[in-house]
Amino acid sequence: GAGVSQSPSNKVTEKGKDVELRCDPISGHTALYWYRQSLGQGLEFLIYFQGNSAPDKSGLPSDRFSAERTGGSVSTLTIQRTQQEDSAVYLCASSRTDGGEQFFGPGTRLTVL
């Protein structure tokens, strides 16, 4: 596609429910990144993929967070048993190569009630 897309754009869920956030990177981009942007906070790095592999998962805030990428393309960020503090905008970005310019998606705004 023309750019990075994310879905849904907005998600409201109840505390304790699981949510899945999707990211479609730019075709041909091998690296994919997930960030979290909370109100009043900066950009918090969560995880990155090179191809289908995630070399470093230590940025994930807790074991309720997981992510996968299949076919070197689409990625899904899953949050289990959501908590109110998970409320944030979740941003996805992709780059042609590891460490290259990142192209950002519009984000998914998650609200946990």
Partner 1 sequence: SNSVKQTGQITVSEGASVTMNCTYTSTGYPTLFWYVEYPSKPLQLLQRETMENSKNFGGGNIKDKNSPIVKYSVQVSDSAVYYCLPCRYGGATNKLIFGTGTLLAVQP
Which residues lie near partner 1 (CB under 8 A)?
A: 3-4, 31, 33, 35, 42-43, 45, 48, 50, 55-56, 58-59, 91, 93, 97-107
Which residue is associated with the tokens 């070399």? 55
- Residue 18 has a CB neighbour count (10 Å cut-off) of 11
| Min separation Cβ 7 and partner 1, Å | 14
- Closest to 89 (Cα-Cα) out of 33, 49, 41, 54: 41
**What are the strands, taking DSSP E only, across 57-105?**
65-69, 75-79, 88-95, 103-104
Q: Which is nearer to partner 1, 25 or 107 (CB)?
A: 107
CB of 14 to partner 1, least distance (A): 27
Q: How far is the CB of 86 from partner 1 (least distance, A)?
A: 19
Q: Which is nearer to partner 1, 14 or 28 (CB)?
A: 28
Query: Closest approach of Cβ 47 to partner 1, in Å?
Result: 9
- DSSP assignment of 6-39 equals EE-SEEEE-TT--EEEEEE--TT--EEEEEEE-T
Output 18 or 98, the one with its CB closest to partner 1. 98
